[in-house]
Structure 1
Amino acid sequence: MIRYLLGRVAFGALILLTLSMFVFFLFFVAPGDPARMVAGDKATETQLIQIRTNLGLDRPIHEQYLSFLGKAVTGDLGFSYRNQQPVAKLIFNRLPATLSLVVGGVLVWLAVGIPIGIMSARHPGAVRDRLGQGFILIGLSFPTFVLGMMSLYLFYFLPRQSGFMLFPAGGFKPFLPNPAIWAWHLILPWTTLALTTAAVYARLTRGQMLEVMGEDYIRTARAKGLSERKVVWKHGMRATLTPLATQLGADIALLLGGAIVIEQVYGLQGVGALAVQAVANQDRPIIIGVVLLGGLFIVVANIIVDIAYVLLDPRVR
């Protein structure tokens, strides 16, 4: 097992190395003046000379890349000349909002999607199954930004016109010193994020459960006299968790890289909003930093999923 996990870690490191090479050559070797791209069109010639010196553009390409890679490994993601701050500091300041959104959204969509999928699979063709499939269809049909705008209209604008505030319009409040205010500002973003994703997990759970519940070992468990609850949760659900873990790892990694739509709708100043601003302002160092951070999250999430495989599936061990 240790050899298997070490192999996955080595493969993840290779992926990150490849991503860093791609990003470096895209922004620093492609046609154009890298210093001008980093500093923007309003930079003076003196500033450009200083930036070229800081980036080491007068050195050979391989030395530039090794310097870029060494700084990235130590957490130095460059300097945003438009914001006059290090990129790592800018991203670190935005991470709490994104982490809060992702963690809460994950808990909500798992608590909603998996039980609905199990209910549908246990009663195929019945009223419960039709209700579950209706939820799946509605959740998959509504784009996230539509649900977000509807939530703001129903739970913020209409109550405010009636003279009271049910939920705030948006924005992020730190967890400390008041966790209640923190959660109050995130209930609508959590719900919006969770409803569409919960539909995906309900459909995946239903499909996997229908397949698993027809296996021989499930019939054997029932023949032994085990209760239906034990058959479903102890035997059926364990086999269903493997594809769910795969999907969950990918979803969390992508959201940590920036939940762009939700952050824009609710005004959460997270990593996704930072990336949108960087693209609009052509702030290349921030774009590079967000891309590398997103790649890191994806690789780490996949390694965690591989560990989950070892724990859930004896065949992997």
Structure 2
Amino acid sequence: MLRFILRRTLFGLLTLWLITLAVFVLFYMATPGDPALMFAGEFATADQIAMVRARLGLDQPVHIQYLRYMWALLHFDFGMSFVNQEEVLTTILRRMPATISLALGSVGIWLLVAIPAGIFSARRSGQASDRLITMMALAGMSFPTFVVGTLLFYVFFFLLTNAGFPVFPSGGFVPITRDPGEWLRHMLLPWATLAVVGTGTYTRIARGSMLETLNQDYVRTARAKGLGERRVMYKHALPPAMTPVMTLVGLDLGGLLGGTIITERIWGLNGVGSLAVQAVETGDLPVIMGTVLIAALFVVLANLLVDVLQALRDPRVRLG
């Protein structure tokens, strides 16, 4: 098991290194414009630009710039923002609570709904309840996130507020450490925005995986031995059927923690996704690079965690 974890960790570190190399090439070498001029401002003098270029190390050979860049990353130094002259990591960490709250809450909701719905649908394959769940799942998958968010905003904020029932706020984020009740009140509709689409997707995956598992020989053997249907379902069929679900959760959770741009924009959540959009709009190069690397880090960590959990649950994963 230790060898498996070490191998997966080294693979994750290699992936992160390749991403840092790609980010450096794209943003330091392929980006139009002078980073020193962007940092100093358009009204800076030639001497000021030269001083900034020397400070950023842009007057040195490319390989030296990359080594300086990697050395700074190893010390958690993502540079300074061109716009607000603040450390990029400080800016990202300030935005992170909103993104983490949105990602974990929405994933938790759609798993709590989708997995039981998928299992229920698979057990009643071909029946009216199965067709109804399948239809609802397809409908949820078909709605774009911005459409779901707009509808929720109109119904649960605009209409309710005009009717004299201001149950939900129009947006914004309240940290859970400040007021847990207000945090929950502000997060329910953003969670629902992501959960509608996620629930539909995961219901279909859970149903398909469960149907495939129920047709395996070992499940038929367990039934032939006279085991109860509940025991066959939850002890023999469910664990292997959840393998693709867990794998997909790792990918989706890592991506969500890297920033959910549309949902954060709709509900006014100052998270990492909205920070990335603002950085692109203002040409804030260090912040763009920082958000890309943070998103990549979360994806790698989430997949590493899923691999380890899969290996603990099923020793065949380690052998594979």
Superposition TM-score, scaled by structure 2 size: 0.95
Shift of 1:38: 4.3
Tell me if structure 1 keeps the 8 A contact 2:111–2:199. Answer: yes
Letter in 2 for 1:15: T
> Which residue of 2 is the match for residue 301 of structure 1?
302
* CA distance, structure 1, for counterparts of residue 98 and residue 317 of structure 2: 36
Aligned 1:125-204 pairs, distance under 5 A: 125-204=126-205
Distance 1:280 1:208, change over 3 A: same
Does the CA-based 8 Å contact 2:78-2:286 persist in structure 1? Answer: yes
SS at 2:242's partner residue? helix
Q: Does 1:61 align with 2:62?
A: yes
Mapping for residues 24-173 of structure 1, pairs under 5 Å:
24-30=24-30, 32-39=33-40, 41-173=42-174
Contact 1:309–1:316 (8 Å) recurs in 2: yes
Deviations 1:181-201 (A, max 9, x none): 100100000111111011111
Query: What is the alpha-carbon distance in structure 1 between the residues aligned to residue 212 and residue 194 of structure 2?
Result: 28
Distance apart, 1:51 and its partner CA:
2.1
Kindly indicate whether the alpha-carbon contact (under 8 Å) linking 2:38 and 2:82 is maintained by their aligned counterparts in 1.
Answer: no
Deviations 1:23-82 (A, max 9, x none): 112222236423234455454434422321221112222121111011112111010121
Change (3 A) 1:102 1:42: farther
8 Å CA contact 2:257, 2:295 repeated in 1: yes
- Give the secondary structure class of the aligned counterpart of 2:317: coil
* 231 and 62 in structure 1: CA distance in 2 versus 1, 3 angstrom threshold: same
Compared with structure 1, are the counterparts of its residues 39 and 252 closer, same or farther at alpha carbon in structure 2 (3 Å cutoff)? farther
Give, as a single letter, the amino acid of the residue that structure 1 aligns with 2:135. Answer: G
Asked if 2 retains the 8 angstrom alpha-carbon contact of 1:38 and 1:285, the reply is: no
CA distance in structure 1 between the aligned counterparts of 2:74 and 2:136, rounded to whole angstroms? 44
Match of 1:229 in 2: 230
Output aligned runs, 1:183-262, within 5 Å: 183-262=184-263
Q: Secondary structure at the match of 1:316?
A: helix
Q: Are 1:19 and 2:19 counterparts?
A: yes
Measured on the aligned residues, the alpha-carbon RMSD in Å equals 1.4
CA separation of 1:197 and 1:42: change in aligned 2, threshold 3 A: farther
- Number of matched residues? 317
The alignment's TM-score, normalised by the length of structure 1, stands at 0.96
After superposing the two structures, state which structure 1 stretch, 42-51 or 100-109, moved more.
42-51
Distance 1:151 1:282, change over 3 A: same
8 Å CA contact 2:146, 2:266 repeated in 1: yes
**What's the offset of the Cα at 1:268?**
0.3
Query: What is the CA-CA distance between 1:273 and the residue it aligns to?
Result: 0.4
- Residue ranges of structure 2 left out of the alignment (5+ in a row): none
What is the aligned partner in structure 2 of residue 277 from structure 1?
Answer: 278
- Structure 1 runs of 4+ aligned residues shifted over 6 Å read none
For 1:248 and 1:42, the matched residues in 2 are separated by 48
Distance 1:272 1:40 in 2: 25
